[in-house]
């Protein structure tokens, strides 16, 4: 068969783009070469509906070993008693949690998307807002931090069955204990979606959601630095309090309901090549090298936040506890859209983002979200954050100056030569 040069040339072009640019999208990262290698291997050829030891097709004995290692490593990372590594994405993981916990029409309570929440936490555009009655809490206008009083008042008045904590654009740690106390007053379950800070939680650098939340979901490709995918975990198993039963009408522990919700509930055959890559990345997370990485992510984020504040940028909550910061650009007379598009021209990649109480549409927004997991993987230290902020500031204060933006683009390429990416590739 002829090599598909059309596609492989484009893949190589994307490699050059990733190599030469500064990647600040908070949800992106660079996997190790061995994680990528595992993704392109023969388990992609195998159907393995079911779980290790209970598959529907023959020939799954090796796949069973791979998936069992992935599960065991993940349990070890988070001190969990049960884990499912099959969700194709974080959204699929959350879909399965909802299916296992709730009946259609039940009430859920999550952080509003416009305040940093996630689509799958009740957005009207998403299954979670269409199939369930979604209620929201937000952040406080003065501090930019989660309004736990509002969360509690809404929970007590509306009695949702599931309270969701977790966000895609929130730079502070969570008070899981307080949320669990609220949930216990109304008999609700708590889901922590830790997709963003999972890698920092894995190393004990942020509060532990497992201590207080019934169920924890995550993606595997953000701070966890694995392949693109999802996971669900329990530290303690329990019975569903709302009478959700398995398809045969039997009462089953939550672990069994979650397994059934992933398959056959929302997915068919698992992506075993991705599960192999998840296992490899989980092995990496268990090393001291990864501990050093996770610590560096936090110190780099704090160094970057300081550099932005020094230049008069308005950071929501004035700083960060984790890997990202959210910046309100209204005092700079810029929209998030304009900032993203102009920085793209200089090969600095980040995303426009709504800020709390934004007066602009989600297609325009007043803010940008900036994250350091990817540049930290490239080997950057605290001292590299200041020059990055300087380059960003030059672009944002010269948005109509083509020559200046081209000069920053050249500066970006020179800067990134210090941090080689996948030297053996391309």
* Interface residues toward ligand DSN, by CB under 6 A: 27, 90, 118, 168
Question: Residue 13 contacts by C-beta under 8 Å, 6 or more apart in sequence?
Answer: none
Q: Do the beta carbons of residue 336 and residue 365 sit within 8 Å?
A: yes
| Active-site amino acid positions | 47, 49, 193, 219, 222, 228
In DSSP notation, 259-284 reads HHIIIIII-SS--HHHHHHHHHHHHH
Range list of H helices, 142-196 = 148-158, 176-186
In DSSP notation, 236-261 reads S--B-TT----TTS---BHHHHHHHI
Give whichever of 90 and 270 is closer to ligand DSN, judged by the CB atom: 90
CB of 113 to ligand DSN, least distance (A): 10
The separation between the first and the last C-alpha atoms of the chain, rounded to the nearest angstrom, is: 21
Give whichever of 155 and 167 is closer to ligand DSN, judged by the CB atom: 167
Give whichever of 374 and 421 is closer to ligand DSN, judged by the CB atom: 374
Give whichever of 27 and 322 is closer to ligand DSN, judged by the CB atom: 27
**CA-to-CA distance for 234 and 81, rounded, in angstroms?**
6
How far out from the chain centre does Cα 102 lie? Answer: 23
Question: Residue 317 contacts by C-beta under 8 Å, 6 or more apart in sequence?
Answer: 139, 143, 144, 145, 171, 172, 326
Q: Do the beta carbons of residue 150 and residue 178 sit within 8 Å?
A: no
Give whichever of 55 and 118 is closer to ligand DSN, judged by the CB atom: 118
Provide the β-strand partners of residue 123: none
Q: Which of 414, 353, 350, 368 is nearest to 387 (CA)?
A: 414
Classify residue 249 as exposed, middle or buried by CB count within 10 Å of its CB (0-12, 13-18, 19+).
Answer: exposed
CB of 330 to ligand DSN, least distance (A): 22
CB of 168 to ligand DSN, least distance (A): 4
**CA-to-CA distance for 284 and 295, rounded, in angstroms?**
15
CB of 51 to ligand DSN, least distance (A): 26
**CA-to-CA distance for 165 and 400, rounded, in angstroms?**
40
Give whichever of 27 and 92 is closer to ligand DSN, judged by the CB atom: 27
Give whichever of 112 and 399 is closer to ligand DSN, judged by the CB atom: 112
CB of 27 to ligand DSN, least distance (A): 3
CB of 166 to ligand DSN, least distance (A): 10
**CA-to-CA distance for 123 and 110, rounded, in angstroms?**
9
């Amino acid at each position: 068969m002829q090599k598909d040069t059309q596609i492989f040339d484009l893949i190589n072009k994307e490699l050059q783009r990733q190599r030469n640019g500064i990647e600040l999208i908070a949800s992106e990262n660079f996997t190790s070469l061995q994680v990528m290698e595992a993704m392109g291997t023969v388990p992609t050829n195998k159907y393995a509906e079911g779980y290790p030891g209970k598959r529907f097709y023959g020939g799954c004995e090796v796949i069973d070993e791979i998936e069992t290692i992935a599960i065991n490593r993940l349990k070890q990372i988070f001190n969990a008693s049960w884990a499912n590594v099959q969700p194709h994405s974080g959204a699929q993981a959350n879909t399965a949690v909802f299916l296992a916990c709730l009946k259609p029409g039940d009430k859920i309570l999550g952080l509003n998307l416009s305040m940093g929440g996630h689509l799958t936490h009740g957005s009207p555009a998403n299954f979670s807002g269409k199939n369930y009655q979604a209620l929201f809490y937000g952040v406080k206008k003065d501090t930019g931090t989660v309004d736990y009083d509002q969360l509690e008042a809404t929970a007590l008045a509306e009695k949702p069955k599931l309270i969701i904590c977790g966000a895609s654009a929130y730079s502070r740690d969570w008070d899981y204990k307080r949320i669990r106390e609220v949930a216990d007053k109304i008999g609700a379950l708590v889901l922590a979606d830790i997709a963003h800070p999972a890698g920092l939680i894995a190393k004990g650098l942020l509060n532990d959601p497992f201590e207080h939340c019934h169920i924890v979901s995550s993606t595997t490709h953000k701070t966890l630095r694995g392949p693109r995918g999802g996971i669900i975990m329990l530290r303690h198993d329990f019975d569903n309090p709302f009478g959700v039963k398995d398809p045969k009408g039997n009462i089953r522990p939550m672990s069994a309901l979650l397994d059934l919700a992933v398959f056959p509930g929302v997915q068919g055959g698992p992506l075993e090549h991705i599960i192999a890559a998840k296992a490899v990345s989980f092995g990496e997370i268990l090393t001291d090298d990864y501990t050093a990485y996770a610590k560096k992510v936090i110190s780099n984020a704090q160094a970057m936040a300081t550099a932005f504040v020094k230049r008069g940028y308005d950071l929501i909550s004035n700083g960060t506890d984790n890997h990202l910061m959210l910046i309100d650009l209204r005092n700079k007379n810029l929209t998030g859209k304009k900032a993203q598009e102009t920085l793209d021209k200089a090969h600095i990649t980040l995303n426009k983002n709504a800020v709390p109480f934004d007066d602009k549409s989600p297609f325009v927004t007043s803010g940008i979200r900036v994250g350091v997991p990817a540049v930290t993987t490239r080997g950057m230290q605290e001292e590299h954050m200041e020059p990055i902020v300087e380059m960003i500031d030059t672009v944002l204060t010269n948005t109509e100056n083509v020559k200046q933006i081209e000069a920053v683009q050249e500066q970006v390429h020179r800067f990134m030569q210090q941090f080689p990416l996948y030297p053996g590739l391309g």
